[in-house]
């Protein structure tokens, strides 16, 4: 269970009322964002722990050759790739891959042509399919090796298992966002405060060794 509490006082709402940042609608939007970010954190926290790895070397910028090696070696794990292969990298890793793609000559430039703009876009989120992998850019990818590297990964079906609980609102002070985020308010009248509480019931774990950690300079 994951819980986040915002507890503004009546005075704070008076002072900041004109900004709109403490009204219930804005706080509900914040709750939705918290839910999504928490799920991403749960997921990204697992990527650095696969037994199989691919790296250009600790503290070394990620390059396309390492990605190709990771993708190719995934097949040696005897995993089910029939449902597709996914990957996630930190923004620094994406930046390094983009630089490598722009400066590498030879046959690799032809592989990269046509996907360049999509790959090197700076904003986090889905990058689309490239080199047969459905890529995600998330700056929540964790560090490893004492902070020297970021630990992204590629994986196939069964590598990560996750689950969530479905909430049901019980009264007018509760609201279910999506299916797994409960947003509620609780008034502490003597203290002159209103708590806005976000709950998320979810968890994730590595299941099968059906992935490969990709670590490179942070």
Q: What is the DSSP letter of 90?
A: -
Residue in 152, 66, 57, 151 with CA at minimum distance from that of residue 108: 66
Question: Are 210 and 107 in a shared domain?
Answer: yes
Distances (CA, A) of 154 to 49, 69, 71: 12, 11, 7
**Which residue spans within the chain are E strands per DSSP?**
2-6, 53-54, 85-89, 125-130, 133-137, 143-144, 149-156, 160-164, 174-177, 181-188, 193-200, 202-206, 211-217
Q: Which domain holds residue 121?
A: 52-162+205-217
pLDDT < 70 stretches in the chain? 18, 20, 104-123
Question: Are 110 and 14 in a shared domain?
Answer: no
Question: Are 153 and 91 in a shared domain?
Answer: yes
Indicate the SS3 state at residue 18.
helix
pTM: 0.78
For residue 114, the model assigns a pLDDT of 54
For residue 110, the model assigns a pLDDT of 42
Question: Are 119 and 181 in a shared domain?
Answer: no
Question: Are 86 and 176 in a shared domain?
Answer: no
Q: What is the DSSP letter of 84?
A: -
Question: Are 67 and 171 in a shared domain?
Answer: no
Question: How close are the terminal C-alpha atoms of the chain, in Å?
Answer: 30
Residue 45 lies in a domain: no
- Give the Cα separation of 80 and 61 in Å (integer): 30
Residue 46 lies in a domain: no
Question: Are 29 and 120 in a shared domain?
Answer: no
- Give the Cα separation of 181 and 2 in Å (integer): 10
Question: Are 133 and 99 in a shared domain?
Answer: yes
Q: What is the Rg, in whole angstroms, of the alpha carbon atoms belonging to the chain? A: 21
Residue 47 lies in a domain: no
* Number of domains, the chain: 2
Residue in 105, 150, 104, 97 with CA at minimum distance from that of residue 121: 97
Residue in 135, 136, 133, 159 with CA at minimum distance from that of residue 77: 159
pLDDT in tens, 31-43: 988 888 888 899 9
Structure tokens at 110: 């032809």
Indicate the SS3 state at residue 181.
strand
Indicate the SS3 state at residue 49.
helix
């Amino acid at each position: 269970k994951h819980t986040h509490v915002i507890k503004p006082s009546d005075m704070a709402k008076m002072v900041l009322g004109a900004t709109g940042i403490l009204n219930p609608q804005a706080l509900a939007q914040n709750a939705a964002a918290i839910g999504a970010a928490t799920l991403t954190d749960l997921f990204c926290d697992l990527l650095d722990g696969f037994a199989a790895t691919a790296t250009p070397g600790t503290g070394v910028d990620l390059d396309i050759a390492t990605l190709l090696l990771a993708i190719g070696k995934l097949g040696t794990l005897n995993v089910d790739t029939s449902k597709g292969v996914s990957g996630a990298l930190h923004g620094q890793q994406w930046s390094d891959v983009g630089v490598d793609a722009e400066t590498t000559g030879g046959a690799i430039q032809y592989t990269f042509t046509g996907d360049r703009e999509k790959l090197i876009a700076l904003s986090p989120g889905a990058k689309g399919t490239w080199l047969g992998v459905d890529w995600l850019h998330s700056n929540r990818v964790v560090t490893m090796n004492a902070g020297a590297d970021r630990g992204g990964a590629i994986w196939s079906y069964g590598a990560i298992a996750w689950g969530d609980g479905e909430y049901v609102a019980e009264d007018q002070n509760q609201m279910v966002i999506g299916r797994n985020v409960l947003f509620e308010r609780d008034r502490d009248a003597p203290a002159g405060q209103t708590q806005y509480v976000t709950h998320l019931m979810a968890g994730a774990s590595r299941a099968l060794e059906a992935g490969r950690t990709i670590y490179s300079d942070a």
